[in-house]
C-alpha cells in the first residue's frame, strides 16, 4: 500500500504512522526524522536543514525532494511505503507525481489528519521524543511508563528544539500558506480521507483503518 500522511504540526502523523507501518509492514518515511538524523550526524544536508527547521521554516524543496527520491528508490519501498510529512508544498507534490510516474506506481490514499489550531500548541509543547528510536510521547495524552524514558528502548526522552512556542507559531503560518494547498491538490484527484485528529489515538487509528480498508 502506498500512502501519504499530511496534516498540521502536532496532528498526530508520527504517532499514527508508527502504528500503521508496523501493522502493514511498510517503511515509514518521515522527512522530518530524516532531517533530524542528518542533523545529529552533522552531515552537510543536516547542517543546512537545521537553520530552517529551528527557524520554523520549510527546508528548501530541492534538498527535500532529493532525499525523498533517493529513499523511494531503495528496495524496501517496492512493496509500499508511508510518506509522513512529505509533500509539504504543491511544488513537492508535483515532483512526487513525476517520481511515481517514473517508477510506474500510484498512490492508494492520502490521509489528512485534521486538528484545530488552538489544540496544536499544547500537543507540541507537551511532545517528548526518544533520542534513540524516535518514538513519540506526550506528557499528558500519551505519557511513557517511566517518566523521561522510552517504553521501547529505555533511552532518554527530550523536547525537540523546534517545539517551542515561538517556532510553533511560525510553523503554523507556514502550514496554512504552503501545506494546506497540498490537500486541495489531492482532493482534486479524489484521494483524500479527511480524519478528525482531535480524538483519542486509538480512535484516530480506527478511522485510518476505515480509510484504507484494513483492520488496524
Ligand atoms: P511535525 O511532526 O511537527 O509536523 P516534522 O518532524 O514532520 O514536523 O518536520 C520537522 C521540520 O522539518 C519541519 O518544520 C520542516 O522545517 C522540516 N521538514 C520536514 N518535512 C519537510 C518537507 N517535506 N519540506 C520541507 N521541510 C520539511
Ligand atoms: P505530528 O507528527 O503530526 O507532528 P505527533 O504524532 O508527533 O504529531 O503528535 C504530536 C503530539 O501529540 C505528541 O506528543 C503525541 O504523543 C500527541 N498525540 C498524538 N496523537 C494524539 C491524539 N490523538 N490525542 C492526544 N495527543 C496525541
Ligand atoms: Zn526509544
Residue 99 belongs to domain with CATH number: 3.40.50.300
- In the predicted model, what is the mean pLDDT of the chain? 96
- At 184-197, the pLDDT tens digits run 999 999 999 999 99
* Separation between Cα atoms, residue 133 and residue 92, nearest integer Å: 27
Q: One of 36, 88, 123, 128 is an active-site residue; which one?
A: 88
Give domain status of residue 200, yes or no: yes
Q: Note whether 58 and 89 are within 8 A (CB).
A: yes
Taking CA atoms only, the protein residue closest to ligand 2 atom 22 is 201
Which ligand has an atom closest to residue 207 CA?
2
Q: Which one of 20, 32, 138 would you pick to mutate in the ligand 2 pocket, going by the greatest count of ligand atoms within 8 A of its CB?
A: 138
Give domain status of residue 164, yes or no: no
pLDDT band at 5 (very low <50, low <70, confident <90, very high): very high
Q: Catalytic residue at 2?
A: no
* Separation between Cα atoms, residue 216 and residue 210, nearest integer Å: 9
What local confidence, expressed as pLDDT, does residue 105 receive?
A: 95
Spell out which residues line ligand 2, taking CB within 6 angstroms. Answer: 7, 9-15, 123, 126-127, 136-138, 141-142, 197, 199-201, 204
Give domain status of residue 163, yes or no: no
Q: Note whether 69 and 61 are within 8 A (CB).
A: no
Bond from prior residue into 87 cis (ω within 30 degrees of 0): yes
Instruction: Supply the range of the domain harboring residue 100.
Output: 2-26+79-116+173-212
Alpha carbon 55 to its chain centroid, in Å, reads 18
What local confidence, expressed as pLDDT, does residue 117 receive?
A: 92
What local confidence, expressed as pLDDT, does residue 158 receive?
A: 97
Record the cell numbers describing residue 136, joined without a space.
513519540
- At 104-160, the pLDDT tens digits run 999 999 999 999 999 999 999 999 999 999 999 999 999 999 999 999 999 999 999
Give domain status of residue 91, yes or no: yes
- Asked if residue 45 has its Cβ within 6 Å of ligand 1, the reply is no
Instruction: Quote the number of domains for the chain.
Output: 1
> Rounded to the nearest 5°, which phi and psi values hold at 203?
-70, -35
Give domain status of residue 183, yes or no: yes
Q: Note whether 93 and 40 are within 8 A (CB).
A: no
- What is the reported pTM? 0.96
Give domain status of residue 19, yes or no: yes
Q: Note whether 123 and 10 are within 8 A (CB).
A: yes
**Among candidates 132, 136, 130, which has minimal Cα distance to 11?**
136
* Separation between Cα atoms, residue 107 and residue 80, nearest integer Å: 9
Please compute the mean of the pLDDT values over residues 76-104 and round it to a whole number.
97
Q: One of 71, 119, 160, 199 is an active-site residue; which one?
A: 160
- At 165-184, the pLDDT tens digits run 999 999 999 999 999 999 99
Q: Catalytic residue at 119?
A: no
Rg (CA), the chain: 16
Amino acid at each position: 500500500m502506498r500512502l501519504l500522511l499530511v496534516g498540521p504540526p502536532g496532528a498526530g502523523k508520527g504517532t499514527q504512522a508508527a502504528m500503521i507501518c508496523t501493522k502493514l509492514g511498510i517503511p515509514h518515511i518521515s522527512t522530518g526524522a530524516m532531517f533530524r538524523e542528518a542533523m545529529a550526524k552533522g552531515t552537510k544536508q543536516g547542517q543546512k536543514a537545521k537553520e530552517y527547521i529551528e527557524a520554523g521554516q520549510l527546508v528548501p524543496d530541492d534538498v527535500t525532494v532529493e532525499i525523498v527520491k533517493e529513499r523511494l528508490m531503495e528496495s524496501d519501498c517496492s512493496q509500499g511505503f508511508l510518506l509522513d510529512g512529505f509533500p509539504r508544498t504543491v511544488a513537492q507534490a508535483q515532483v512526487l507525481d513525476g517520481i511515481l510516474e517514473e517508477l510506474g506506481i500510484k498512490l492508494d490514499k492520502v490521509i489528512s489528519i485534521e486538528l484545530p489550531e488552538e489544540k496544536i500548541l499544547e500537543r507540541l509543547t507537551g511532545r517528548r521524543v526518544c533520542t534513540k528510536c524516535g518514538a513519540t510521547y506526550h506528557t499528558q495524552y500519551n505519557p511513557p511508563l517511566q517518566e523521561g524514558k522510552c517504553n521501547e528502548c529505555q533511552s532518554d526522552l527530550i523536547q525537540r528544539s523546534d517545539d517551542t512556542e515561538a517556532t510553533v507559531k511560525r510553523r503554523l503560518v507556514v502550514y496554512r500558506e504552503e501545506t494546506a494547498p497540498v490537500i486541495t491538490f489531492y482532493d482534486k484527484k479524489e484521494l483524500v480521507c479527511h480524519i478528525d485528529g482531535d480524538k483519542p489515538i486509538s480512535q484516530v487509528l480506527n478511522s485510518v483503518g476505515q480509510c484504507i480498508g484494513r483492520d488496524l
